[in-house]
Amino acid sequence: MEFRIGPAGNSDSFYEEGMKSSVQAPGWLRDRGLNAYEYSLGHGISLTEKTALAIREQAEACGVQVSVHAPYYVNLTSPDPEKREASCEYIVRSAERAKWLGGSRVVVHAGAYQKQDRELALRACREGLLACCRRLDAMGLTGIRLCPETMGRPGQIGGLAETLALCLADERLLPCVDFAHLHALSGGGLKTRADFARVLDEAENTLGLERARQMHIHFSAIEFTDKGEKRHRTFSEEGFGPAFSDLAPELVQRNYRPVIICECNGTQAEDAARMRDMLLEAERAALCGPLPAERTENRPENTKCTEKSGKNVLNRENNFAKRLNI
């Protein structure tokens, strides 16, 4: 089992601690036990090759896997052919920068319906993604995987079933399952572990287990209205779901190997670290069962889980922690 966990962009604390450039992000994340980083091109593609290669050098040295988020204004379903072509160009340019960064995943917002027939819009989106894949092939970017994202508003293409169906168009397409968006779209429907299990079941039934295990994941707390997503929130803000503690044991039990990106507003690195800890706790519970609270306090580091399962459990737990680089 191997998880990659980290933030989308830089937390407020990154700058508060004196950091000036995203070139410094991989080392800063490594020091906090995180090993993934999503570079956002959401508001425009200004990243230069020189800066991208500098980030890549640091990321490779620090064991941090980089992904890219394409511009938010991509719309592969636009009725205007020039706008569809421009959207494809944005995706291809984002993929080029992903390669510069040493990454292999580009998260994509597919578009909006804009009063079009839903099936026709989905078909246009599918054709647009395939056109992007052909462009990537022609440029020698065959190692880049496009990740259509589940979205948080009804007028957007990005329901779970729609996103999974788009990924069937080409083996290189992976879903970016944004659980906060799904929570908002369903009016707060992710309340229990069973709710998360149903999402993973649908992914596995559509794409197959091995492909589902590799999915890209976005996670945060979220505020929503009857119109869907309103804004991302943080784990420390009360009253906002969903709860990663309900997803973590499902990922562990199913032996998933995702990239997990935290999008909590301003605390994305800190909350990514909390998610990492929840995964570790889920792994410990899977190996040896949860311990009573009084037995987990002040335990020596080298005696975790030995009460029930002995050295074999300890070794497996330590190996899991090493794969998380903590």
Mean pLDDT of 55-62: 98
Is residue 140, in this structure, part of any structural domain at all? yes
To the nearest whole number, what is the mean pLDDT of the chain?
91
Rounded CA separation 133/32 (Å): 35
The pLDDT score that the predictor gives to residue 293 is 56
Mean pLDDT of 45-59: 98
pLDDT surpasses 70 at 197: yes
pLDDT surpasses 70 at 295: no
Q: Which residues contact 129 (CB under 8 A, 6 or more apart)?
A: 76, 108, 110, 146, 148, 166, 169, 170, 173
Angle separating helix axes 268-288 and 306-323, nearest 10 degrees: 140
pLDDT surpasses 50 at 159: yes
Mean pLDDT of 137-165: 96
Across-strand partners of 114? none
The pLDDT score that the predictor gives to residue 322 is 54
The pLDDT score that the predictor gives to residue 305 is 52
pLDDT surpasses 90 at 314: no
Is residue 318, in this structure, part of any structural domain at all? no
pLDDT surpasses 50 at 299: no
Most confident region among 113-127, 150-164, 288-302 by mean pLDDT? 150-164
The pLDDT score that the predictor gives to residue 310 is 42
Is residue 306, in this structure, part of any structural domain at all? no
Q: Is residue 303 very low, low, confident or very high in pLDDT (cuts 50, 70, 90)?
A: very low
Q: Is residue 321 very low, low, confident or very high in pLDDT (cuts 50, 70, 90)?
A: low
Mean pLDDT of 37-46: 96
Q: What are phi and psi of 20, to 5 degrees?
A: -115, -25
The pLDDT score that the predictor gives to residue 2 is 80
Into how many domains does the chain fold? 1
Return the number of other C-beta atoms located less than 10 Å from residue 8's C-beta: 25
The pLDDT score that the predictor gives to residue 311 is 46
Mean pLDDT of 58-67: 98
Is residue 226, in this structure, part of any structural domain at all? yes
- What domain range is 223 assigned to? 4-286
Q: How far apart are the first and last CA of the chain?
A: 15
Return the number of other C-beta atoms located less than 10 Å from residue 161's C-beta: 10
The pLDDT score that the predictor gives to residue 234 is 97
The pLDDT score that the predictor gives to residue 245 is 97
Any long-range contacts for 43-47 (C-beta under 8 Å, 24+ apart)? 43/71, 43/72, 44/71, 45/71, 45/90, 45/93, 45/94, 45/97, 47/97, 47/100
Is residue 206, in this structure, part of any structural domain at all? yes
* Pairing of the two strands 216-219 and 176-178: parallel
Is residue 300, in this structure, part of any structural domain at all? no
What CATH number does the domain containing 60 carry? Answer: 3.20.20.150
* Pairing of the two strands 65-69 and 36-40: parallel
Rounded CA separation 239/245 (Å): 15
The pLDDT score that the predictor gives to residue 114 is 80
218-276 pLDDT tens trace: 999 999 999 999 999 999 999 999 999 999 999 999 999 999 999 999 999 999 999 99
The pLDDT score that the predictor gives to residue 297 is 47
Mean pLDDT of 72-77: 93
Is residue 194, in this structure, part of any structural domain at all? yes
Question: Counting beta carbons within 10 angstroms of the beta carbon of residue 15, is it exposed (0 to 12), middle (13 to 18) or buried (19 or more)?
Answer: exposed
The pLDDT score that the predictor gives to residue 292 is 58
**pTM of the full predicted structure?**
0.90
Q: Is residue 151 very low, low, confident or very high in pLDDT (cuts 50, 70, 90)?
A: very high
Is residue 48, in this structure, part of any structural domain at all? yes
